[in-house]
């Protein structure tokens, strides 16, 4: 430390080098920011030029899990272990009550069971609006 105090020119050189290094770092960051802005500007102009018909087109082929829920119940493990073929498990859903339709675990509709060509299906009777779905998620 004593050497730095004795030689003020060396201290100035250290400060000058530090300032120059800082300026180089700031210039590099500015160039990176400008390059990033150019890339996003190009992407934005592509979508407005009609290259994509709709933003939803990108997600239309993504598979989701659709589940129809008849009902639920809680059961003790000892009772679960006693279940056998022919056992009846009582659910909380009432007969004739609409069933929940879930997409990836999120309620989107309710409906009633239908049978078409010996296969079960569901006729949607009530669809949850997007605003209701968001409100339920925030609870």
Phi-psi region of 92 (alpha: psi -120 to 50; beta: other; left: phi over 0): alpha
CATH, range 63-137: 2.30.330.10
Chain position carrying tokens 């996003």 = 40
Of 31 and 36, the structure prediction assigns the larger pLDDT to 31
20-49 exposure pattern, b = at least 16 Cβ within 10 A, e = fewer:
eeeeeeeeeeeeeeeeeeeeeeeeeeeeee
pLDDT (0 to 100) of residue 60: 85
| pLDDT over threshold 80, residue 11 | no
Sign of CA dihedral 48, 49, 53, 58: negative
Amino acid 130: pLDDT = 83
**Residue ranges of the domains in the chain?**
2-48, 63-137
- 55: Cα within 13 Å, side-chain hemisphere: 4
pLDDT of residue 123: 93
């Amino acid at each position: 430390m004593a050497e730095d105090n004795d030689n003020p020119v060396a201290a100035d050189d250290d400060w000058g080098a530090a300032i120059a290094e800082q300026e180089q770092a700031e210039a590099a960051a500015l160039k990176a920011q400008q390059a990033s802005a150019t890339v996003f500007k190009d992407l934005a102009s592509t979508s407005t030029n009609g290259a994509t018909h709709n933003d939803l087109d990108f997600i239309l082929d993504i598979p989701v899990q659709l589940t129809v829920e008849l009902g639920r119940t809680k059961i003790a493990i000892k009772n679960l272990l006693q279940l056998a073929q022919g056992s009846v498990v009582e659910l909380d859903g009432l007969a004739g009550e609409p069933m929940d339709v879930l997409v990836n675990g999120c309620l989107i509709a309710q409906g009633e069971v239908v049978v078409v060509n010996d296969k079960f299906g569901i006729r949607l009777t009530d669809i949850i609006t997007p605003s209701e779905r968001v409100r339920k998620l925030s609870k």
